Structure formats: structure tokens, C-alpha cells
Amino acid sequence: MLNPTNKDSGKYTRRSFLKTSSVAVAGLSVADYGFAAPKTQTLALSGGEKAVNFPKDQFAALTKWPRYGDAEKNALGAMLESNKFYEELPAFEQEWKDYTQAPFVKNHINGTSALTSMYFALDLPAGSEIMVPSYTFFATCLAMRFFGYVPIFIDIDPKTATFDLEDAKRKLTPRTHAVVPMHSWGLPCQMDIISDWAKEKGLIVLEDAAHAHGASMQGKKMGTWGAMGIYSFQASKVMPCIEGGMGMYQTREYFERAAAFGHYDLPETFPKDSPVRAYAGTGFGQKYRMHPLAAALARQQLKGLDAMNQLVEQNVRAMNDRLTKLDGLTEPHCRADQKRVYYSRNMLLLDFKKLGFSRDALVKSLKAEGADVNFWDYPEQHKLKIYSEAKWFHHAPTIPASMPGNAYINANHVFLPLFYGQAPELIDQYVAAFEKVWAHRAEVAKA
């Protein structure tokens, strides 16, 4: 039990703020849960003791990202020593291919250049429209404009923060050729349903898997559901190499076109019957090769990817399985056949109307308890200046009047940090902080 400073704490009943009486049903006492959140404990905001008193340096060590150690230092050192740089690239590609089971992959400078190459490879008529979430990084929506494609902004589902197929169905036009689901925060989009619908409508499925290294659905890695997909290995990502990207391709045709866009030296390696082979010496005008030092980092990170994802997931489960018992607090819904990962943060969803206090009041109260809680509203792409100016596009993108899913997620989430090490005590303290705040809801509402 944490901070059992008040001897009345055992008398406290959590029924007032637990969603269900499952604790009682299971025959567990408050003590079995390892925490108690007595109303008699004073909120730190009102001068009480903080629920989270974890040493700062240990907290910094647990939350540090990216995490590079001797393996990375040795790999970089060995490469510099050997003067053999470019061999890292095919080695990394082969390992990533083995890991994801993608038939074709190509390294890129970053996720943005992988997206640009992917759109080039599509080879659709100018004016084709492509469905993208508005809740994403700019490159998902904007890299297409260089080839005359126009984004159709799709909402996200407030239960998952991922691609809302129902909204896509409403926005389908005769010019729509492709859809690009993005696996927000590491949670796979419902690729089976999206793919079935796309097939029925004759649309090409593409994927932005920049957040989802190691995630899969029905045993199939993200980035291999679509005809093409991309990953980013930028420093914040689940598998970081500071700057790096990968294109994922299901067919040789897409691979050759996408790869030759930013790799001038590749066409001459293609089979004789390849239509792209004729572009030997030039490719199609860009140089998007990943830095070999980044590839060396990525290869080391890949070795530990599954273990790190597993550790992070265990920590999230230890936290969220308890937090989601609190009234009005949930997490993005993950289907049983989806294996999600966690990119950067642990997103919690809160029904603030039901809770009766504001997000600002909650964050203020939890911060006072010593918990690192914050929120960050994804900039909605459709609201940004460039999309409102027709001159940048083949034809003006339609700017939706509202995006209720985006609005809901942006207004009703908070983020907790991810812990990249064993953290049972810290997790207990965070849960205790939430429990205490929930026990003082009326007071928090006035904060």
C-alpha cells in the first residue's frame, strides 16, 4: 500500500467512484489492489501529501527515450572504424523484411520521403483524391500534392482515435482512388473492415504505420495490410534511429517505382523486363537514401523491439487495468485480434461531462500529486493554412465543417508517460494519485 499515512484509509470504500462493484464480486478488498484512496487524505492541491514521490532521477531514467546503449555505440564505432558504410542498408532492409514479412521494402531518409515515394509509385491521374485522416502528421496528407493528388479528410473514431470508416463512406467521390489509414499511437486501424470496403469500391489501401512498429492484426504486421505502407524511425518513434524511414510494398511494380524515385542507383539492378530499368543513372529525381549511421542504429533497435514493446505493454496494463475501473475513464478500444504497441504516450480517454470537472482541473490536481500528466491536441490537418489555398493543389481540397471524432479525442484525453523499465512502485503511486483525485471530485471541480 502506498503512502498509508492515514490510519482511517482502510475504511474507505471505493464504490463511490468505481464503475462497477467487480472488486466486491471478486471478493477482493481494497488492500488486495495495493492501494487505497481515502477521502480523508487531503489533495496535494489543498496542502496534503503528494501521492507520487518517486525520485526524479529514477523517473528520468524510466522515461528516457530513445534508449541507446553499448550495442548502438559499438555498432556506430565499428562502422566508422571499418569505413564500410553502405552495407548497413541492405542488411537493415533484409532484417526488417524478415521481421515484417513484407515482400519488398526500401529504406528512406525518413517517413516523409517514404510517403512521397509511395505517392509517386501510385501513378494515378492528376486530380485523383486520396482519403487521409486529418488527425495525423502533415506528410500523410501533403506529400501527395507533388503528384497532383488531393486529400479527402476523414475523421477518427472517438473510441479508437483511428480512421473512421463510416466517415469515409460518406465522403467517397467518383475521383477517390485510395485510402491511407494511420495507426494512431500504435493502435492498428480496423484493416480487415477497411480493406473489404476498399476492395468493394475499387480503392487502393495504403498505410501510414509511422507509430506502429511491432503492431499487428490477425498476426499480420502493420504496413503489410496495404498495397504500400510506410514507417518512420524518427527519434520519438517506437523504433528510433533519430531520422529514418522505410517503404513497404506488396508488388514488384510498386517497389520498383517507389524505390527508383529516391534511389538513382537502383534501376540498373532491376530485372531486364522492368519498365523502370531504363531510368538507370537517374531514377526519378530525388535522393532519399537513409543515412547508414541511422541504419546501424535501427538494426540494433530492431533486436530489442519486441522485448521493449512487451515491457511497455506490461506497464501500461498494470496502470490502465486499474485506472479504467474509475468512473468516466477509458482507453482507446483495441480488438482481441489486434496487437497494439504504444507510441510515445499512454492515452487515456475521459468523459469530462460525466466527470463534472474540467481537463485543466484534473491535470492541475494530478500534477500537484506529483504525476506527470499532460495533454496534446493533434493539429488537425484540415484546419491548417495550406489546405485552404487552392493554388497548392490540383483542385481545392474540401475542408470539412466539423470533425467530431477529432474534436472529441483532442478534448477528452490525457497522456501519461510510458515507462521503459520495471516500475511497479511508480505505477502504484500514479494509480493512488488518480484514486485520490477521483475521491475528491467535488473539490477538483472547483480547482
**Site of interaction with ligand PLP (CB under 6 A):** 110-112, 136-137, 139-140, 182, 208, 210-211, 232, 234, 245
Q: Which helix (H) or strand (E) holds 176?
A: strand 176-179
- From the list 285, 253, 27, 258, the residue with the least C-alpha distance to 120 is 258
Whichever of 233 and 264 has its CB closer to ligand PLP, that residue is 233
Contact, 176 vs 152, CB < 8 A?
A: yes
Cβ proximity to ligand PLP, 190 vs 232, nearer residue: 232
What's the CA gap between 385 and 380, in Å, rounded? 11
Complex with ligand PLP: residue 116 or 190, whichever CB lies closer = 116
User: How many angstroms from the chain centroid is the CA of residue 124?
Assistant: 29
CA distances from 338 to 40, 222, 277, 329 (A): 42, 10, 39, 21
Q: At what angle do helices 359-368 and 424-439 cross, to 10 degrees?
A: 130
Q: Which residues of 147-168 are buried (b: 16+ CB within 10 A; e: fewer)?
A: bebbbbbbbbbbebbbbbbebb
Q: Which is nearer to ligand PLP, 109 or 371 (CB)?
A: 109
C-beta of 247 vs 328, nearer to ligand PLP: 247
Q: Which residue has the closest beta carbon to ligand PLP?
A: 111
Contacts of 187 (CB under 8 A, 6+ apart): 160, 161, 162, 212, 215, 332, 334, 338, 340
For residue 237, the minimal CB distance to ligand PLP (Å) is 7
Q: Cβ of residue 139: shortest distance to ligand PLP, in angstroms?
A: 5
Q: Residue holding cell 538507370?
A: 280
- Measured from the CB atom, is 115 or 371 closer to ligand PLP? 115
CB of 126 to ligand PLP, least distance (A): 23
Provide the 3-class DSSP secondary structure of residue 5: coil
**From the CB of 108, what's the least distance to ligand PLP, in Å?**
8
Give the shortest CB-113-to-ligand PLP separation in angstroms: 7
The nearest distance, CB 136 to ligand PLP, in angstroms, is 5
